[in-house]
Amino acid sequence: MSVNLNDLGIICALGANKAQVMSGLQQADTSPSPLTLDTQLGFAELDVYVGKVSAALPPLTQLQAQYQSRNNQLALAAYQQIEPCYLQLAANVEPSRIAVIIGTSTSGISEGEIARKVHGETASWPENFHYRLQEMASPADYLAQLCGAKGPVYSISTACSSSGKALASGRNLIESGLVDLVICGGVDSLCQLTVNGFKALESTSRGICTPFLAQRDGINIGEGAALFVMSKQAGAIALKGTGESSDAHHISAPDPQGAGAISAMNAALSQAALQPEQLDYINLHGTATPKNDEMESTAVYQVVKDKVSASSTKHLTGHTLGAAGAIEAGICWLLLSDFNQHNMVPLNSSVTARDESLAKIGLVQQPLHKPLHNCLSNSFAFGGNNISLILGINT
């Protein structure tokens, strides 16, 4: 059965829609990084580079009080892009057979941080603060209310694999016959908790992150949203395979041998009925932390050697945490679509030399153009929670 990704809505530091994000990918080697220096989020005068959305977002007044968060503004901005396709496909589908599954790790925590500060200064909560803003279910509930879905509605929060798992979950619901139509994806917004939390873990970069390069020193946190319309209805691009694993090696460090990552990639290939050499591009998890890149290059080399072009795009978007899986799947969707008129393959960061101690995967460090038919996207999360997705052109 073909489970198709009929449309995409995307917003991140690279741009506010499909065309802008694709343009940002194409200009990555000639334009300044879209990541910006932030002076507000960090504690103790910590200035950090982040992947912040600069585009104007739908006004909060369009949202009910319990949904008035930046996170839901980002979700709405992505939903507005897919609404025409969704309404067309939903016209003859019972609302009880429409699902909404969203990956997130921050939800409305930023609004909670602001409210907590006000309470500390005044001993009163702000009048417009609603506790439900912080619930992980908030973006899924909001989108379901917006689109009228009455089927399964839930959020997944498994750190960096959250929205990749939302796509896998949507595919499972359709294949099981429980639903006919799914809005799935992910959304996360910048907040002090994640910026300072990763700093406390000594995982943030002093500058703009450089995945798989010799001088890499950590991640940049980002924000954004990507939503897909998923169905069995005819579409140009399919979610051909998903692979999930949980190696539980450590609460935050990856298994150095990459056993869980290897298992996830092989499971995705098996479900897609593809051989490794049939992949054309891998969007790497590529956080630019020393341990992740070491593990992932080891795992990728085990599966495909150096035969498949691969890059991380986190130096362009920041690490969008719970939204990363969907945003990077969205990048793969764009590469496979008519938006990629020149058959370009995204460049890995190339500001310094690659780390020669890492396994020699097919890292893209020079401009590359070639036809793309099947793309794999990796997301590896805390606790060894792994997912690989394969998107491909329907033939």
Q: Would you please indicate which residues are annotated as catalytic (active-site) residues?
A: 160, 285, 319
Q: Cβ(369)–Cβ(345) under 8 Å? A: yes
Read off the tokens for 385: 């929670």
C-alpha–C-alpha distance, residues 237 and 122, integer Å: 53
Q: Angle at the Cα of 311 (from 340 to 320), degrees rounded to 5?
A: 90
Q: In the β-sheet with 309-311, what is the strand arrangement from edge to edge?
A: 153-156, 98-103, 181-188, 224-231, 4-11, 237-246, 385-393, 374-381, 281-283, 309-311, 362-363
**Nearest one of 254, 342, 330 to 299, comparing CA atoms:** 254
Collapsing DSSP states into helix, strand and coil, what is residue 382? helix
- Can you list the pairs that 41-45 forms with residues at least 24 positions away whose Cβ atoms lie under 8 Å? 41/190, 41/191, 41/192, 41/195, 41/196, 42/192, 42/195, 42/196, 42/199, 43/192, 43/196, 43/199
CB contact at 8 A, 38 and 52: yes
Length of the chain: 395
Q: How far is CA 142 from the centre of its chain?
A: 19
> Would you say 222 and 190 are in contact if contact means Cβ atoms under 8 Å apart?
yes
Question: Given the DSSP bridges, would you call strands 344-345 and 98-103 parallel, antiparallel or unpaired?
Answer: unpaired
